[in-house]
């Protein structure tokens, strides 16, 4: 039995973690942490959990938690996990941080884009970027995993084979992303009210969204040289789902079949990456509720560009599902334990 604590269990990602973990018989959630709802019943905050969870929300006491559980998920705002982590804690429990604190190796880059001082840069080196499709072996041995951002997960997996093989000019890479509203979190902000979001569409974080350096870093490793790109997220009126559409110039002529074979080869062992069939565009509805990333591409002979698309559930593969995938690896379990979730439609 794996004993689990969730810090930030009343946010959307925390709630999704609870949903996924509660379906398992080999995991026990011992701690529903929440800054805002201490001592309130968890099922009064998330009524879907009525008669399923009896626990009350607990304060974020890492020290106590460290003695109680085997793994802590921190689904909290930037800076919190980094301010709590220390050697003693890590000697006792594994930590999977869903915030951005340990995703970026260059602390200066982190501090520039996030505009906060990193509270514990000494652990950045140790932290493993938790994208299992790229870092599986390192994750297995990690004490501290930086769970990737939602956009970076979808973006990186969608273009990785092309970048790794040098098939695109990375300086032409542009990623245009669309996300449902759950990605904005559960804070009571005017901008996220139903009537403000419904029946509308907008770009945000143009040229300065914080996921930009995270994507760049991962693709730089793949390219073996610095990658700089444009990333523009858009908010669209739906609960869940991310779609990314990426554009890049091909560095050499390539046929559909060649690139399809490349993608198939890269992802043939991956259970959670589905390379779609020719001319089938990824759609978020076909991955909702699951840990899948659906990817496909189209070559435009006229312009010499390739258009790459990826669809994902931002709450699952983009957050809680991937965190559980990492947990499985860290505890030596089959990677898909508890994650054989069939997408829900409609």
Binding residues among 163-222 for a copy of itself as defined by CB under 8 A: 172, 174, 176, 178, 180-182, 186, 188-190, 192-204, 206-207
Of the pair 104, 146, the CB lying nearest a copy of itself is at 104
Q: Is 184 exposed, middle or buried (0-12, 13-18, 19+ CB in 10 A)?
A: middle
Q: Which of 86, 120, 230, 337 binds a copy of itself (CB under 8 A)?
A: 230
Of the pair 102, 267, the CB lying nearest a copy of itself is at 267
Q: Using an 8 Å Cβ cutoff, are 146 and 126 in contact? A: no
Question: Cβ of residue 335: shortest distance to a copy of itself, in angstroms?
Answer: 16
Rounded to whole angstroms, the Cα distance separating 135 from 336 reads: 16
Q: Using an 8 Å Cβ cutoff, are 156 and 227 in contact? A: no
Q: Which of 305, 320, 323, 324 binds a copy of itself (CB under 8 A)?
A: 305
Question: Cβ of residue 81: shortest distance to a copy of itself, in angstroms?
Answer: 24
Q: Which of 4, 6, 12, 322 binds a copy of itself (CB under 8 A)?
A: 12
281 in catalytic set? no
Of the pair 108, 344, the CB lying nearest a copy of itself is at 344
Nearest to 69 by CA among 89, 46, 97: 89
The two structure tokens encoding residue 214: 């995270």
Question: Cβ of residue 227: shortest distance to a copy of itself, in angstroms?
Answer: 11
**Residue 315 vs residues 59, 179, 268: alpha-carbon distances, Å:** 24, 11, 24
Q: Using an 8 Å Cβ cutoff, are 54 and 45 in contact? A: no
Backbone angles phi, psi at 44, to 5 degrees: -85, -20
User: Interacting stretch for a copy of itself, rule CB under 8 A, among 57-65, 100-108, 275-283, 327-335?
Assistant: 275-283
User: Interacting stretch for a copy of itself, rule CB under 8 A, among 54-62, 89-97, 150-158, 288-296?
Assistant: 288-296
CB neighbours of residue 68 within 10 Å: 16
Rounded to whole angstroms, the Cα distance separating 130 from 139 reads: 6
Tell me, by CB under 8 A, how many residues bind a copy of itself.
Answer: 83
Question: Cβ of residue 235: shortest distance to a copy of itself, in angstroms?
Answer: 9
48 binds a copy of itself per the rule CB under 8 A: yes
Question: Cβ of residue 63: shortest distance to a copy of itself, in angstroms?
Answer: 30
Q: Is the four-CA dihedral 262, 137, 312, 198 of positive or negative sign?
A: negative
Question: Cβ of residue 57: shortest distance to a copy of itself, in angstroms?
Answer: 15
Cite the beta strand spans of 40-129 per DSSP E.
Answer: 71-74, 94-97, 128-129
343 binds a copy of itself per the rule CB under 8 A: yes
Helix/strand/coil for 100: coil
Peptide bond before residue 346 is cis, with ω within 30 degrees of 0 = yes
User: Interacting stretch for a copy of itself, rule CB under 8 A, among 1-9, 17-25, 70-78, 157-165?
Assistant: 17-25
229 binds a copy of itself per the rule CB under 8 A: yes
Of the pair 40, 245, the CB lying nearest a copy of itself is at 245
Residues with a catalytic annotation lie at 150
């Amino acid at each position: 039995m794996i004993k689990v604590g969730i810090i930030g269990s009343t946010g959307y990602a925390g709630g999704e973690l609870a949903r996924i973990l509660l379906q398992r018989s080999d995991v026990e959630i011992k701690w529903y942490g929440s800054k805002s709802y201490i001592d309130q019943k968890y099922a009064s905050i998330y009524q879907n959990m009525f008669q399923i969870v009896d626990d009350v929300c607990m304060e974020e006491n890492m020290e106590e938690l460290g003695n109680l559980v085997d793994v802590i998920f921190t689904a909290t705002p930037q800076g919190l996990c980094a301010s709590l982590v220390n050697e003693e804690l890590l000697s006792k429990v594994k930590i999977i941080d869903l915030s951005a604190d340990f995703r970026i190796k260059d602390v200066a880059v982190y501090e520039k884009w996030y505009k906060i001082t990193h509270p514990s840069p000494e652990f950045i080196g140790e932290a493993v970027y938790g994208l299992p499709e790229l870092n599986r072996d390192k994750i297995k041995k990690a004490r501290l995993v930086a769970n990737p951002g939602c956009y970076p997960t979808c973006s990186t997996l969608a273009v990785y084979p092309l970048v790794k093989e040098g098939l695109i000019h990375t300086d032409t890479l542009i990623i245009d992303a669309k996300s449902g509203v759950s990605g904005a979190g559960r804070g009571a902000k005017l901008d996220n009210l139903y009537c403000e979001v419904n029946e509308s569409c907008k770009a945000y974080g143009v040229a300065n969204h914080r996921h930009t350096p995270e994507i760049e870093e991962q693709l730089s490793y793949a390219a073996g040289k610095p990658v700089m790109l444009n990333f523009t997220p858009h908010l669209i009126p739906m609960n869940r789902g991310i779609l990314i559409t990426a554009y890049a110039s091909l560095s050499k002529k390539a046929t559909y079949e060649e690139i399809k074979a490349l993608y198939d080869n890269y992802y043939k062992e991956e259970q959670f990456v589905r390379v779609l069939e020719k001319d089938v565009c990824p759609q978020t509805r076909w991955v909702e509720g699951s840990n899948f990333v659906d990817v496909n591409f189209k070559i435009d002979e006229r312009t010499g560009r390739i258009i790459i698309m990826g669809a994902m559930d931002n709450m699952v593969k983009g957050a809680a599902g991937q965190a559980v995938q990492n947990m499985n690896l860290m505890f030596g379990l089959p990677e898909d334990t508890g994650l054989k979730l069939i997408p829900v439609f409609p």
